Chain A
Amino acid sequence: MNKRLWQPARRTLVLATFSALTVSGCALQSQAPSLRLSESALDIRAMQTRTFTARSEAEILAATIAALQDMEYNIDQIEAPLGVITASKVADADSTNEKVGRILLDLLCGCGMSQRASDRHAITITTVVLPSLSGNGDFVTRITIQQVTFSKQSQALSRGTIDDPRAYQSIFDKLAKALYIEVNNNA
């Protein structure tokens, strides 16, 4: 082999390998998780938190469990001394509009888009109900919700924390109603 011809080719190969390693190193680095609070952390906390008035911690815990059952969740974990309740459900994610759009795309390009249609959401919710630290007898409820969307092939299409204020508001509305029922049933 001609040494002069080989040398630039080898240099290119070495550079390409080095670049690939560097880039993959960057990719791994960027996967390092961030545990820094965003500037909006306190606003998000406020969105996820409501204060309720109840006669006892047992009453508001019972109302919270009833509200979760009303919303068709199953209870996975309860730790009463810490006020922690975690519940989950799998909900249908089939959207007719999405399905029709993907089938049309399939007809046009035959690229199997309908296989990637959302099929179901796995939703996990944690509520923490504790006596208010201000000591006025109220109870503070904080909620965090996560969602994983799966395709029909059970492939996770998206996963993340739900940060839509409307989702939290609708849950707090249901909780307020459940608390009203709990108070009046035990009056």
Chain B
Amino acid sequence: MRKVNLLAGYVCAAVLGGCAATPFDVAGTAAPLELRSVQTRAYEHLDKTLTMRAVIATLQDFGFTIDQADTALGIVTGTRAHSHDMRMTVTVVQKTADEVSVRASARVGQKSITEAATYQDFFAALDKGIFLVRNNVN
């Protein structure tokens, strides 16, 4: 009987200890460089403010509301309420006087979006938003 109790104790300790020690997905699982390349696109002949304007309009096109926007840091974060909420962060960096880099990252519910196709769709929409901004269409 004592042996059984001891064994049960070991099992409980192992299970609970395992839970406490596992740093569950704190550092993500995707390959950082590959992920970065699918999430990033460069645009020429654009400045940061105009690009951020197009980014916000594009997020609104998808039905996002804006949680956070910071011109100085070039960051926009939005949320789209859905059966699984989608949260997206877009960063805009002025690379040179004439070139900006845009990086978008998204999560749906508890999952990170790593599919290149989703980001291609986002940038296809952003291209249209940038076209409208460049042609002075609000």
Residues 1 to 32 of chain A near chain B (Cβ within 8 Å): 31-32
Per the bound structure, the CA–CA distance linking A49 and B113 in Å amounts to 30
**With known contacts A49-B138, A135-B136, A145-B65, A81–B71 Cβ distance under 8 A:** yes
Check A33 against B86 for contact (C-beta < 8 Å).
Answer: yes
Size bracket of the B interface: 35 or more
The stretch that binds A, out of B3-11, B17-25, B38-46, B50-58, is B50-58
- A159 contacts chain B at the CB level, 8 A cutoff: yes
| Stretch in B27-35, B74-82, B94-102 with 4+ CB within 8 Å of A | B74-82
With A33-B86, A134-B136, A160-B82 as given contacts, are A77 and B113 in contact (CB-CB < 8 Å)?
A: no
Knowing A133-B136, A159-B82, the reply to whether A77 touches B128 (Cβ < 8 A) is no
Chain A residues with CB below 8 A from B83, complex form: 159
- CB of A45, distance to nearest CB on chain B (Å): 6
- Identify which of A33, A35, A82, A126 contacts B65 (C-beta below 8 A): A126
| A79 to B119 CA separation, bound complex (whole angstroms) | 26
Q: Mark A27-58, 1 if CB is under 8 A from B, else 0.
A: 00001111111000100110011010000000
Q: Is A148 on the interface with B (CB-CB < 8 A)?
A: yes
For residue B108, CB closer than 8 A to chain A, the reply is: yes
Interface residues of B in 53-95 (CB under 8 A from A): 53, 56-57, 60-71, 78-86
Asked if A84 and B66 sit within 8 Å, CB to CB, the answer is yes
Would you call A146 and B71 a contact (CB within 8 A)? no
Out of B56, B86, B111, B138, name the residue touching A140 (CB < 8 Å): B138
Interface status of A169 (Cβ within 8 A of chain B): no
Q: 1/0 contact trace for B103-122 toward A, CB 8 Å?
A: 00010110101010011011
B111 neighbours in A (Cβ, 8 Å):
31
Interface string of A116-127 (1 = CB under 8 A from B): 000000001110
Q: Is the CB of A161 within 8 A of B80?
A: yes
A51 to B137, CA, bound (A): 12
Contact assessment for A82 and B82 in the assembled complex, using a CB-CB cutoff below 8 Å? no
The answer to whether B62 touches A37, judged by C-beta atoms less than 8 angstroms apart, is yes
**CB-CB < 8 A to A148: which residues of B?**
81
B138–A132 CB distance below 8 A:
yes
CB proximity of B125 to chain A, nearest CB, Å: 5
Residues of chain A lying within 8 A (CB to CB) of residue B136? 133-135
User: How long is the Cα–Cα vector from A48 to B133 in the complex, in angstroms?
Assistant: 17
Q: Assess the B69–A146 pair: CB atoms within 8 A.
A: no
A130 at the binding interface (Cβ < 8 Å): yes
The reply to whether A37 and B128 contact each other, CB–CB distance below 8 Å, is: yes
A32 and B115 alpha carbons, distance in the complex (Å)? 8
With beta carbons under 8 angstroms apart, the residue of B57, B67, B109 that contacts A77 is: B67
Once the chains bind, are B115 and A128 in contact (CB under 8 Å)?
no
A-B interface, 7 closest residue pairs, ranked by CB to CB distance from nearest: A161-B63, A79-B69, A133-B136, A159-B81, A35-B121, A126-B65, A140-B138
Chain A residues within CB distance 8 Å of chain B? 31-37, 41, 44-45, 48-49, 51, 76-77, 79, 81-82, 84, 86, 124-126, 128, 130, 132-135, 140, 142, 144-148, 159-161
